[in-house]
Chain A
Amino acid sequence: MNRRSLLKASAAAGAVAALPRFAIAQPRQARLLRFVPHANLAVLDPIWTTAYISRNHGLMVYDTLFGIDREFQPQPQMAEGLAVEDDGRTATVTLREGLYFHDGERVRAQDCVASLKRWMKRNPIGQHLEGLTEELTAVDDRRLRFRLKQPFPMLAHALGTIGAPIPFIMPERLANTDPFQQVREVVGSGPYRFKADEFNSGSLVVYERFAGYAPTPHAGNGLLSGPKTVHFDRVEWHIITDAATAAGALQAGEIDWYEQPPPEIQQLLRRNRQISVEPLDRLPLTGIMRFNHLHPPFSEKRMRQAILPAVSQEDHMIAIVGTDKDLYQTGTGIFTPGTPLANDEGMEVLTGPRSIERARQLLREAGYTNQPIRLLGSTDILAPSAMTQVAADMFRRLEVNLDLVLTDWGTVVQRRASREPLERGGWSVFCTAFNAYDFLDPAGHFPLRGNGTSGWFGWPTVPRLEELRLEWFGAPDLEAQQRIAREIQRVALDEVVYVPLGSYLSIMAMRRNLEGRVPGPPVFWGIRRA
């Protein structure tokens, strides 16, 4: 090869190399938003599962009769209004005009009745409502009526709940599906339409703007209230499991929004001027340590109480989000900090001086004689994994007979369902985290229940908690609710139904050319390209 032919070849190679860059340098499709969610969307029915990712998918596709606002007050969404008569024993919801499903069918009251009946089987506040409901019927195509056994002032709250599963409205033909089986089709009446033909679980989820969506005329105040006005014709969820790859894609402009970068990646992304790294929501998630109340040693109340002086909420939170104090809070009680029911009743057991020595002494006094303590932990999900490591260290320093079992989360959720004693594969304690909206109030607060083996994993039996929960449902106003919530927290911490491990903000990263995002779970109305 001579010099001239070498130069020609180099020029040709350069031109070829330039081709893809030319393509990439084209103006971005302004009406397309590319998002990396925190998990793979595997289950498309947000009633069948309580997984947050399916709830977020539901928020894209479905609509609700009411939606709560930033002050946790229900505002009409699909509903035009709610009329309460007969001393609160009859409640009629009227639908707005012009509501359509994605298959072109009109939304009718019959669809809402079937959807709510299915939802009431799966959601705790729905189950309570079902118990109070004598009859739920469609009066005509636009009106559905509850005939209640007793007044239920929280009806609109229940119909607008943000705790999974959310009462999404589906066509009657789908909503008639058994609540413990998955619906076979995704047809909602929400702002975006699910593109089943492009769905590739584990890789890509595509939503297309629903031209027939009519946003509510009622002004909103954040969260799920107000008009759901969308500014993108197409939203793509790209499932990227590797954090470094997702971060690289965000830096390169291949994606616009990364829901949950881990702390070490956040540091990297903060250095990029094109990227904004900020809390996803103003409300924090809460970490918890849950004991097995069925078997020794933590079937003994004094044993559970003995652990408390050793628990450092700060240590657990730093393990999740790092040392930036703006990202976590200590002094977290039973309800989500910053929400109306959060209070400081009985908190001295967690906010007083921390002492391993004191905890050891209390354990001895409680009769601990080196029984094995099995801590279940996952290695593949950030928050439970980090909290498990801190908890394991705490138990080791307490010099207990610790059996640390680390597996993937899929195994943890199976093993924690075992009610067997340790020698038959049971467990003593595990750590997990809950979304802010799960701990807003006693209604959907699973770990707070005291209904024994009918309750959530760990199965504490505390009748007083169940009484207080029922009292709370009937509370006439916020003041009464707050009074009951203080008593609930006092009982819960005294019984140590679980140990709050602190609260932390979930951090997201997005390109700076996006604005108008609604704080809260990732929703795609309001947000637009600047």
Chain B
Amino acid sequence: MLAYVVRRILATIPVMAVVALFVFSLLYIAPGDPAAVIAGDQATPEDVERIRASLGLDRPFLVRFGEWVIRILQGDLGVSIFTNLPVTTMIAQRIEPTLSLMVLTLILAVVVAIPMGVLAAWKQGTWIDRGVMAFAVLGFSVPVFVVGYLLAYVFALELEWLPVQGYTSFSAGFWPWLENLILPAVALGSVYIALIARITRATMLEVLSQDYIRTARAKGASQGSILFLHALKNAAVPIVTVIGIGIALLIGGAVVTESVFAIPGLGRLTVDAILRRDYPVIQGVVLLFSFIYVLVNLAIDLVYTLFDPRIRY
């Protein structure tokens, strides 16, 4: 197992190298010029040229790429062209809100969606099943920002239960942290809940038709034990896979959710950096996301062994 983990971690190195080359090349050929954005509307083309030169953006592709790779190998993601702040500092400022949002959404989704899916499978064909499926279709169909606006309107503006926007650090207290994240987590979680609930239902239906479930029933096992100990454990592998894939969905959805609820997370940092062509920040954030995604996939592969003893690495 340890050898497998080490092998997988080593395998991330070429993956990250390809991602790095791809991101750098993409930004190089993409239109846009940070020097022009910095100079502003009241600047002449000469001013823009001089700023470009001062930023080193007029140097050849290979020189810039080489310097960037050397810095990355030293653990230095560079400095924002605009703010002069190290990219690592900017990421550090933004990672807590994004992680908080993603973790809370994940917990909410798993806690709500798995029982919903199990219930729908158990009560297949009843109004409960149809209700869960209708919710799932709705969750898929309504965009995150629409859910976000609706929640903000009802629970923040009309009922005044929760704040409209913003983020409070966990260090300021649990409730101030949570109250800012409830609405964003529900909005972002709606798609995720729908996805996991559907997969859980489908997998459970398949498992519930197996012989060993009939045997468990015949030996007098309780409904709860059949559903959650016998069936759910055997249905877990595809569900865990979907949860893992869903983390990519969460990263994408976090960009929208962070904008709607003005959460200063990595999603907004990425969008802002793209709009103003802050290359070092874009490169740093994309590398970080790629690394997280590779690690999540590894974690999921390892979790498989918990649910299915036949899987060995």
A interface list, Cβ under 8 A from B:
17, 19-21, 23-24, 40, 42-44, 48-52, 54, 122, 163-164, 178, 180-182, 184, 199-204, 238-242, 244-246, 248-249, 251-252, 254, 380, 407-411, 413-415, 417, 419, 432, 434, 438, 444, 446, 453-457
How many Å lie between the Cα of A17 and that of B175 in the bound state? 10
Shortest CB distance B75–A (Å) = 22
Contact status A454-B54, CB under 8 Å: no
Given contacts A438-B42, A454-B46, contact A414 B33 (CB under 8 A): yes
Which residues in B have their C-beta under 8 angstroms from that of A252? 156-157, 160, 163-164
Q: In the complex, what's the smallest C-beta–C-beta distance from B173 to chain A, in angstroms?
A: 10
Chain B residues with CB under 8 Å of A444's CB are 42
Is B275 a contact of A200 with CB atoms below 8 Å? no
Contact assessment for B83 and A417 in the assembled complex, using a CB-CB cutoff below 8 Å:
no
A182 to B83 Cα, complex, angstroms? 9
Across the interface, A245 reaches (CB within 8 A) one of B37, B54, B152, namely B152
Is residue B31 contacting chain A, with contact meaning CB distance below 8 A?
Answer: yes
A78 and B282 alpha carbons, distance in the complex (Å): 41
Ranked 8 nearest A-B pairs via Cβ: A203-B264, A50-B40, A414-B33, A50-B42, A42-B82, A413-B36, A248-B164, A51-B40
Q: Contacts A49-B40, A202-B268, A242-B259: A411 and B31 contacting too (C-beta < 8 A)?
A: yes
Q: Is the CB of A49 within 8 A of B162?
A: no
B48 at the A interface (CB under 8 A): yes
For A21, list chain B residues within 8 Å (CB). Answer: 160-161
Complex Cα–Cα for A188 and B182 (A):
40
Question: Are the CB atoms of A122 and B164 closer together than 8 Å?
Answer: no
Contact of A408 among B153, B262, B275 (CB under 8 A): B275
- Not counting A42-B276, A54-B40, A409-B275, a sample of 19 additional A-B residue pairs whose C-beta atoms are within 8 angstroms of each other reads A42-B278, A43-B38, A44-B83, A49-B40, A51-B41, A182-B84, A202-B268, A241-B259, A245-B152, A245-B164, A248-B152, A249-B166, A254-B164, A413-B41, A417-B45, A419-B45, A434-B41, A446-B42, A456-B44
Q: A430 to B310, alpha carbons, bound, how many Å? A: 65
Beyond A49-B39, A202-B269, A204-B264, is A249–B165 a contact (Cβ under 8 Å)?
yes
Interface majority SS (helix, strand, loop, mixed), chain B: helix
- Write out the residue numbers on chain A whose beta carbons fall within 8 Å of the beta carbon of B142: none
Q: Is A200 within 8 A of B264, CB to CB?
A: yes
* B34 CB to nearest A CB, Å: 8
In the complex, B133 has a CB within 8 A of chain A: no
The A-contacting residues of B in range 138-170, CB under 8 angstroms, are 149, 152-153, 156-157, 160-166
Instruction: Give the residues in chain B near A204, CB-CB below 8 Å.
Output: 264
Quote the shortest CB–CB distance from A258 to chain B (angstroms).
12
Among residues of B, the one whose C-beta sits closest to the C-beta of A40 is B272
The contact of A413 among B37, B165, B272, by CB within 8 Å, is: B37
**Residue of A at shortest CB range from B38?**
A49
Q: What separation, in Å, do the CA atoms of A398 and B143 have in the docked complex?
A: 39
- Shortest beta-carbon distance from B184 to chain A in Å: 11
User: Number of contact residues on B: which range applies?
Assistant: 35 or more
Whole-angstrom CA separation of A21 from B37 in the bound complex: 42
Which residues 164-221 of B have a CB within 8 angstroms of A?
Answer: 164-166, 175-176, 179
Tell whether, in the assembled complex, residue B165 and residue A163 are in contact, meaning their CB atoms are under 8 Å apart.
Answer: no
Partner of B275, one of A122, A249, A410, A456: A410
Most buried by A among B46, B80, B160, B165: B165
Cβ contact of A254, chosen from B82, B83, B153, B166, cutoff 8 A: B166
Interface contact B162-A20, CB-CB below 8 Å = yes
B51 CB within 8 Å of chain A: yes
Q: A20-B179, A42-B276 are in contact. Are A50 and B82 (CB under 8 A)?
A: no
Give 15 A-B contacts (CB < 8 Å), ordered by A residue.
Answer: A44-B84, A51-B38, A122-B47, A163-B42, A202-B268, A203-B264, A203-B268, A242-B262, A245-B152, A245-B261, A252-B163, A417-B45, A432-B41, A434-B41, A446-B44
Q: What is the CA–CA distance of A248 and B153 in the complex, to the nearest angstrom?
A: 8
Q: What distance in Å separates the Cβ of B70 from its nearest Cβ neighbour in chain A?
A: 23
Question: Does residue B101 face the partner (Cβ distance < 8 Å to A)?
Answer: no
A200 CA / B48 CA spacing, docked (Å): 26
CB-CB under 8 A from B94, the residues of chain A are 200
Q: Is the CB of B33 within 8 A of A413?
A: yes
Chain A residues within an 8 Å CB radius of B160: 21, 24, 252
Asked whether, in the complex, the Cβ of A48 is within 8 Å of the Cβ of B165, the reply is no
The residue in B39, B42, B176 that gathers the most chain A C-beta atoms within 10 A of its C-beta is B42
8 Å CB interface, B37-95 against A: 37-48, 50-51, 53-54, 80, 82-85, 90, 93-94
Least Cβ–Cβ distance between A310 and chain B, in angstroms: 25
* A410–B152 touching, CB < 8 Å: no
CB distance from B300 to the nearest CB of A (A): 32
CB nearest neighbor in A for B256: A242
Q: Which of B32, B84, B262, B264 contacts A249 (CB 8 A)?
A: B262
Tell me the bound Cα distance from A289 to B234 in angstroms. Answer: 66
> A454 and B44: CB pair below 8 A?
yes
Contacts of A23 in B (CB 8 A): 176
B260 at the interface (CB under 8 A from A): yes
Q: With contacts A43-B83, A244-B149, A245-B261 known, is A178 near B37, CB below 8 A?
A: no
Across-interface contacts of A251 in B (CB, < 8 A): 157, 164
Is B41 touching A50 in the complex (CB atoms < 8 A)? yes
Residues in B with CB closer than 8 Å to A432 are 41
How far apart are B189's CB and chain A's nearest CB, in angstroms?
19
Q: Which residues of A contact B50 (CB under 8 A)?
A: 180
What residues of A have a CB within 8 angstroms of the CB of B93 in the complex?
200, 203
Please, how many angstroms separate the alpha-carbon atoms of A522 and B94 in the complex?
Answer: 28
Q: Are A407 and B264 in contact (CB under 8 A)?
A: no
Q: A241 to chain B: which residues have CB within 8 Å?
A: 259, 262, 268, 272
Shortest distance in angstroms between B110's beta carbon and chain A's nearest beta carbon? 22
Residue of A nearest to B85 (CB): A201
Return chain B residues, CB-CB under 8 Å to A407: 31
Given contacts A21-B160, A181-B54, A446-B44, contact A380 B275 (CB under 8 A): yes
Chain A residue numbers with a CB within 8 Å of B85 are 201
Q: Which residues of A contact B272 (CB under 8 A)?
A: 40, 42, 201-202, 241
Which of A49, A50, A202, A245 is within 8 Å of B165, CB to CB?
A245
Taking a contact as CB atoms under 8 Å apart, the answer to whether A201 and B83 are in contact is yes
Measured between alpha carbons, how far is A419 from B48 in the docked complex, in Å? Answer: 14
With A and B bound together, what is the CA distance between A252 and B80 in angstroms? 34
Nearest Cβ distance between residue B232 and chain A, in whole angstroms?
A: 25
In the bound assembly, the distance between CA atoms of A20 and B173 in angstroms comes to 12
Cα-based distance from A40 to B276 in the complex (angstroms): 10
A184 to B83, CA, bound (A): 9
Query: Min CB distance, A227 to chain B, in Å?
Result: 29
